[in-house]
Amino acid sequence: MVLSRRTFTAFAGTAALGLSLSASTGTDGRGGSARLTPTGPAPDPPSADGRPHTVGFDRYSLLVDGRRLVLWSGEMHPFRLPSPSLWRDVLQKMRAHGYNAVSVYVAWNHHSPAPGEYDFTGVRDLDLFLRQAAETGLYVILRPGPYINAEVDAGGFPGWLTATRGRARTSDPTYLSHVDEWLTAVDRIVARHLHTRGDGTVLLYQIENEYGSYVTEPTGIDYMSHLYAKVRADGIDVPLFHNDLGRNGYWAPGTFDTGGERGRWLYGFDGYPDPDQLPPDWGYFGIGGKKGGATASPGTPGFIPEFGGGWFDPWGGAEFDGAGYAGSARTRDAAYERRFYLTNLANGITVHNVYMTFGGTSWGWLPAPQVYTSYDYGAAFDEGRRATPKVVPMHQLGHLVRCVPELAKLDRAEDIATGGGVGGGGAVAGDGRIKVYHLSNPDTHAHIYVLRNDSTEPVTSTLPVAGISLPVTVPASDARLLASGIALGRRKLAYSNAQPMLWLRAGDQDVAVFTGRSGEATVTALECAGEPTVTVLAGDAESSYADGLVRVRARLGGLTRVLVEGGGVTAPLLLLLADDETSVRLWPRETPAGSVLVHGPSLLRTVELGDGVVRLTGDTVEATGLEVWGPHGLREVVWNQEPLRTSATDSGSLRAAEPLAGVPEVMLPVLDGWRWKAENPESEPGFDDSDWTVADRTSTFSTTPVPDGQPVLFADDYGFHYGDVWYRGSFTGAQSAEAVNLGYSTGTQGLLMAWLDGEPLGTHRMPVPDKKTVRKGSWAATASFAVPEKARTSGRRVLSVLVRRMQHDMDGKALDTHKVARGLTAVTFTGASPKVSWRLRGAAAADPVRGPLNTGGLYGERSGWHLPGYGDEDWPTVELPRAGRGRQGVAWYRTGFRLAVDPGVDASIGLLLEDDPAHAYRVQIFLNGWNMGQYINDVGPQHTFVLPNGILRTRGANTLALAVLSDGPTMSGPGRVRLTLLGSAAGGVPVTDVPSPGR
């Protein structure tokens, strides 16, 4: 049945209202509420438990089953990790390091090779990803667009959409008909994983992405209303939201029609502040109003769907002066995270997503024109899936927001000043070296303090708290969170100048963890009605008791253990004081049978508890001890299916008698046995192009105009949307031609090569972007080549042109810029006006396994030279680096290699390419037929390409094929090519080989 747009909207709005009655709690989204949910424990970790759940919100936080939740989320994109087994690896690492949610884009172009075709199999299995997230215990923020940006080709729009009628990202009916098909395909899967129904953990759902166009015009307002209604009609009953592209107040509740449904729409805004600026106040302490961030929607919780966890790097590396993503990680380091993320928390941001937490790889033709293959992003987990130092504050804060329920409901408290002239509540006083945010919980009256040092030197001062002047040191350009009055199980914290991280109940005792920098002097005071017994079990610490407080003074280093017993409380408290390095070796986990705290390994993946046995899985890098705190009666520990000999400690734990083994050495083979073959027969005048597509169109939906008197030459109009495209033009009557002028349009770093009657005319390339042009997605130029004297004769001539078109522009401003032409745009001659008959050829039909983004139109790609089963036995052998001068065009290099990585080892392996930067060539890298990215030798900055396990056979044979595109004057490469170990660990997850058809 096809509905008119008016009928459809009315129907969907009614359906949405019905859904909301069973799923909604909290306010109407505009500030009204009969009551506010009291502070209490966070919801249990989510799962597909088969039980219905309510999901709502009020002005403070999300509410799940009526319990407050601070959502501490990280962004990852399954489409940037083309090995479904490894999705679980990243999800488990996020969960272990304190995240309780994962945010994911769904890229339309990744799933749709043609209109009406939608593929959710293999590396595109969204259903599998959502199951893995639920099994891992993570909520899901789902973001299917239809437009996503995300630094992917066309902002996520499929290539075929570039050649369709209608303005995208508006209420244009043709565009909406395509959108409805896409959302139907996505929502059919998502509806099976909604947390409201107990079938999964999808908690929030985003429509569109950073939509700042037509905000006050019907074409935009109707568009957003249509998306809302469509999603509700598809049965998606969780709260919906949009991410404002900045602090504009766009699409706040009440700004567009939601079909009569109220209280189910969240306002969110994205923030990517420069690390050199002061962390901005976007909430309680800000300017207020529509431009104040969270204050644009006072009835909904502070929500940042994207806060910068790094930044992307462009071709040429201008953003970080050639340092690549190491520069991104350095400028947005752990101290940056503490300063900016704690400022967000102080401003009432309780729905917080870090973009990116794992960036991954923009393999194939997935990346937007502005970026190269790696999407490492300088994130907390690097492209090789390794935790970086940036994970430390995320680990500490993630576990903190789970264990301290007061953080879900905070009000701004009175401004205070520290002893060193510290500013309070956003109004900097005195010398202004430390800024203090003071907040309190209206139910428990606990106090939270965020102290931020924006200076380049460490600052020591005092903070007035609990009737004393608490000494506090904040390192340079850093921040910390302190608390007073929070519960640590059955005891209450009076104050501490160490940052709380977690508490849990383990058997007969409570365990609390505080953290800080190594070497810091700390004091922690607990309320005690009587004098307790305090025993220092390990570390540099001492205690005293006076005025109803027991004070523990310690210098941080490793894990300091202090046991506090009695003092009017029946249960003992084990106080653990950990420096940063040690804190990320402390792994809390809740299970149906009780809580567990594990100390020692590099990663804790899973915990199963029952019958006095705790079964753990995880990773080690170096040999390490293992210690477990758990419920009463715990008697046995199993690590990665191996029972351990343990003994009880005076800390109430079980400790392994022997260290866990580290990771064994991983040996990588030398890449040799190369075979070589030149291609581009398309440049020869006698090449048979009779089955190529005739360029006979005279009109286009592209935003690029067609020159008068010339046919449309744009590749997309003829169905060639990704990778290289060839043109062959046949003409006569060019005896007086002096030059041929080839107008062409590409993404960043596109190029053009031309031949006349098989003879090279030359290569033209787009310039390397500088800091002013790094965001420019479409580049146009005219390449002029002299016509050789010997070609200025009568007779038929053949002009052959290869265009490396790169990718489509992202349509960030809803101007249809993804429809800017790719390929040739105009061809003229100087001194003559021959009529040219054109044919063109691009990529073959989409690979049904690897998808539409894997290959382009090179002869070798069309002939299967990139595939592992191709027979290259008759190719000549060659050694690298390739000797001799280059030739304009394409050459292929193939070799095979075997790996024998221990099955109990997770080895992250990359391919490293190095050469003299004076050599101008680029390489498409194919591993077992999968396009792992593009290397441009003289541009960079990327030299290492991650080869994900699953596509990479870590125990078996692999085929590596390199398609080398050389401009001619320099050596044709490649230079040095070798495998490199990016990191390894004993453990990992079971990896299933990704299908890699050979032909």
Catalytically active residues are 210, 306
Residue 174 is inside which H or E element, if any?
helix 173-190
DSSP class of 371: B
Residue type, 166: G
Q: E strand or H helix at 813, and its extent?
A: none
| CA pair distance 489, 507, nearest whole angstrom | 12
Assess contact for 219 and 175: CB atoms under 8 A: no
Tokens in use for 482? 């302190």
Count of Cβ atoms closer than 10 Å to residue 49 Cβ: 14
Is the backbone of residue 427 left (phi > 0), alpha (psi -120 to 50) or beta?
beta
Q: What is the edge-to-edge ordering of all strands in the sheet holding 549-555? A: 487-488, 491-496, 521-527, 549-555, 540-546
d(CA 865, CA 870): 6
- The DSSP symbol for 102 reads E
d(CA 692, CA 695): 9
Locate tokens 């009406």: which residue? 116
Dihedral over Cα of 568, 573, 579, 583: its sign: negative
Return the SS3 of 656: strand
Which is nearest to 797 in space by CA: 743, 740, 753? 740
d(CA 575, CA 551): 11
Q: Both tokens of residue 891?
A: 């050459």
Rounded-to-10 torsion of CA 474, 61, 205, 158: -30
Residue 169 phi, psi dihedral angles, 5° rounding: 65, 35
Which of 209, 205, 83, 219 is CA-nearest to residue 152?
Answer: 209
Are 890 and 925 contacting, i.e. CB atoms less than 8 angstroms apart? Answer: no
Q: Which of 873, 893, 864 is nearest to 961 (CA)?
A: 893
Which residues on adjacent β-strands are paired with residue 352? 72, 304
Q: Which helix (H) or strand (E) holds 67?
A: strand 67-69
Q: Can you tell me the distance from the alpha carbon of 752 to that of 648, in angstroms, rounded to the nearest whole number? A: 71
Count of residues in the chain: 999
Rounded to whole angstroms, the Cα distance separating 502 from 401 reads 8
Alpha-carbon distance of 943 to 713, in angstroms, equals 34
Under 8 Å between Cβ of 506 and 490: no
Residue 761: is it exposed, middle or buried by C-beta count within 10 angstroms (0-12/13-18/19+)?
buried
Residue 229: its H or E element: helix 218-233
Q: Tell me the three state secondary structure of residue 71.
A: strand
Residue at token pair 């078996």? 956
